[in-house]
């Protein structure tokens, strides 16, 4: 995003929008990832590594088959997606080039996401850390080389960013394959497909996928409302979202910890310890995210200036960061407790909470505010209120403990 921002504001907005489209594609990954996580963590908690490894093999085959259909749709439908979102002509042109290339790498994106989550569910997050560190370095080097045209390569601009992303994912999958071949790995790939386990994954995953699907559609509607405020408003939101992603990381990390530890302890039959793992993960997460929130509130313009020098974009992004900085603690609670519920297999609960909250507290009020002529800052305020309310709801559900009895 830093390097694409040096190409043009349109390129910055196009890449940012593509990330929203990837959220829709993530719906399909949710079909096998969330259910796989819940089942793998329970198998590991029960000491059944071979059963967990055979499940991983079956899910890998399923992911490869599914990716073929997504690649075809993404490659041939990329420009139509941007047009449907109401993007300007420049953003459509830039974005369709980027997303076509990204679509060709969907198979490695699907496999990477599966293996990362499966190893996390099994309790191995360190291996992914090292793989992602090398991958990030490769991605950054290739971005620099292919976007701007260094070391004898042509300057491909936004297309170079897409090529770099796909090649980084290819490295990830190769690294994960080598890791899984080791006998002492937390998981291996055992070529056995148990349809019974695949069905159990589906029973958990369909509601999580529906949750993600409806949520993604609501985010796309939300993005279309922001797009109506112009390219600078859209680019400012996308830049702010990327910077806020730094604050997200502790939330995501401890949500994964809660998911794995809750699932493993439920597999071992220890409900009290499962509950406490989520509470501890939540406390650590909101301390980290609250601290990052202070930084977002204090120096927003400095952070945004790394991405773009456009004054209008900086102004929008800075307002966004100040507001989301205030919402980091309820966001941490939402991340961790929803992750814990998914680790327990309580995906129907998260479906109800997320869908109702996003549509009734965010999308519909934002649309009304836009139609009434309020500025983009009002939209960001509504977004923060929704985050606060959702955090309170998850806190209440978690404390009730009924989710501990979920059957998988």
CA atoms within 13 A on the CB side of 373: 0
Could you read off the pLDDT of 80-126 as tens digits, one per residue?
777 776 667 777 777 788 888 888 999 999 999 999 999 998 989 89
Confidence category of residue 294, pLDDT binned at 50, 70, 90: very high
Task: Find tokens 């897409």 and name the residue.
Answer: 162
All structural domains of the chain with their residue ranges: 1-205, 228-408
SS3 assignment for the chain? CHHHHCCCHHHHHHHHHHHHHHHHHHHHHHHHHHHHHHHHHHHHHCCCHHHHHHHHHHHHHHHHHHHHHHHHHHHHHHHHHHHHCCCCHHHHHHHHHHHHHHHHCHHHHHHHHHHHHHHHHCCCCHHHHHHHHHHHHHHHHHHHHHHHCCCCCCCCCHHHHHHHHHHHHHHHHHHHHHHHCCCCCCCCCCCCCCHHHHHHHHHHHHHHHHHHHHHHHHHHHHHHHHHCCCHHHHHHHHHHHHHHHHHHHHHHHHHHHHHHHHHHHHHCCCHHHHHHHHHHHHHHHHHHHHHHHHHHHHCHHHHHHCCCCCHHHHHHHHHHHHHHHCCHHHHHHHHHHHHHHHHCCCHHHHHHHHHHHHHHHHHHHHHHHHHCCCCHHHHHHHHHHHHHHHHHHHHHHHHHCHHHHCCC
Cβ atoms of 69 and 82 closer than 8 Å: no
Highest mean pLDDT among 172-176, 254-258, 285-289: 172-176
Task: Find tokens 């204090």 and name the residue.
Answer: 298
Cβ atoms of 286 and 332 closer than 8 Å: yes
Tokens representing 99 are 């997303």
Closest to 282 in 3D by CA, of 152, 397, 367, 159 = 397
Could you read off the pLDDT of 193-237 as tens digits, one per residue?
999 999 999 888 888 888 888 887 887 788 888 888 887 787 888
Closest to 284 in 3D by CA, of 276, 294, 296 = 276
Could you read off the pLDDT of 324-365 as tens digits, one per residue?
899 899 999 999 999 899 888 888 898 899 889 989 999 999
User: Does residue 20 surpass a pLDDT of 80?
Assistant: no
Average pLDDT over residues 121-132: 90
The per-residue pLDDT for 85 is 67
Could you read off the pLDDT of 37-82 as tens digits, one per residue?
889 998 998 889 999 999 999 999 999 999 999 899 888 877 777 7
Average pLDDT over residues 310-321: 86
Confidence category of residue 286, pLDDT binned at 50, 70, 90: confident
Average pLDDT over residues 282-297: 91
CA distances in angstroms from 394 to 89, 253, 290, 403, listed in the order given: 41, 18, 18, 11
Closest to 212 in 3D by CA, of 36, 20, 373 = 20
d(CA 160, CA 144): 9
d(CA 254, CA 340): 10
Average pLDDT over residues 1-29: 77
Least confident of 164-173, 252-261, 303-312, 315-324: 303-312
Handedness of CA 275, 211, 1, 362 (dihedral sign): negative
Higher per-residue pLDDT: 2 or 158: 158
The alpha carbon torsion through 361, 362, 364, 369 (nearest 10 deg) reads 110
d(CA 121, CA 203): 18
Q: Which residues contact residue 263 at a Cβ distance below 8 angstroms, ignoring those fewer than 6 apart? A: 37, 38, 40, 41, 42, 45, 121, 274, 343, 344, 345
The per-residue pLDDT for 137 is 95
Could you read off the pLDDT of 135-179 as tens digits, one per residue?
999 999 998 999 888 888 888 888 888 899 999 999 999 999 999
């Amino acid at each position: 995003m830093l390097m694409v921002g040096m190409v043009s504001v349109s390129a910055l907005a196009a890449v940012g929008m593509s990330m929203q489209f990837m959220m829709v594609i993530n719906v399909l990954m949710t079909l096998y990832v969330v259910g796989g996580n819940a089942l793998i963590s329970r198998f590991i908690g029960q000491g059944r590594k071979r059963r967990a490894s055979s499940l991983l093999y079956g899910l890998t085959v399923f992911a490869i088959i599914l990716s073929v259909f997504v690649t075809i749709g993404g490659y041939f439908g990329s420009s139509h997606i941007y047009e449907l979102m109401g993007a300007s002509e420049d953003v459509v042109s830039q974005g369709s080039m980027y997303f076509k290339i990204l679509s060709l790498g969907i198979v490695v994106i699907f496999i990477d996401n599966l293996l990362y989550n499966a190893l996390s569910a099994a309790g191995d997050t360190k291996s992914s850390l090292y793989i992602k560190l090398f991958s990030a370095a490769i991605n950054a080097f290739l971005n620099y080389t292919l976007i701007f045209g260094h070391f004898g390569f042509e300057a491909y601009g936004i297309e170079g960013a897409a090529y770099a992303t796909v090649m980084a994912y290819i490295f990830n999958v190769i690294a994960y394959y080598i890791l899984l071949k080791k006998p002492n790995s937390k998981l291996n790939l055992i070529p056995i497909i148990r349809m019974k386990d695949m069905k159990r994954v589906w029973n958990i995953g369909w509601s999580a996928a529906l949750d993600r699907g409806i949520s993604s559609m609501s985010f796309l509607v939300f993005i279309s409302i922001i797009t109506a405020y112009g390219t600078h408003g859209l680019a400012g939101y996308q830049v702010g979202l990327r910077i806020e992603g730094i604050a997200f990381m502790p939330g995501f990390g401890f949500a994964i910890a809660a998911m794995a530890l809750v699932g493993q302890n439920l597999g071992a039959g220890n409900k009290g310890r499962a509950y406490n793992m989520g509470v501890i993960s939540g406390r650590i997460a909101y301390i980290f995210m609250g601290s990052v929130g202070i930084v977002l509130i204090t120096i927003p313009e400095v952070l945004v200036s790394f991405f773009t020098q456009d004054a209008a974009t900086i102004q929008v992004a800075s307002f966004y960061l100040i507001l989301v900085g205030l919402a980091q603690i309820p966001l941490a609670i939402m991340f961790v407790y929803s992750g814990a519920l998914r680790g327990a297999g309580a995906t129907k609960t998260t479906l109800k909470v997320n869908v109702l909250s996003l549509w009734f507290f965010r999308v519909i009020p934002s649309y009304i505010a836009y139609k009434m002529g309020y500025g983009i800052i009002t939209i960001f305020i509504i977004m923060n209120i929704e985050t606060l309310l959702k955090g309170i709801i998850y806190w209440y559900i978690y404390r009730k403990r009924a989710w501990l009895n979920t059957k998988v």
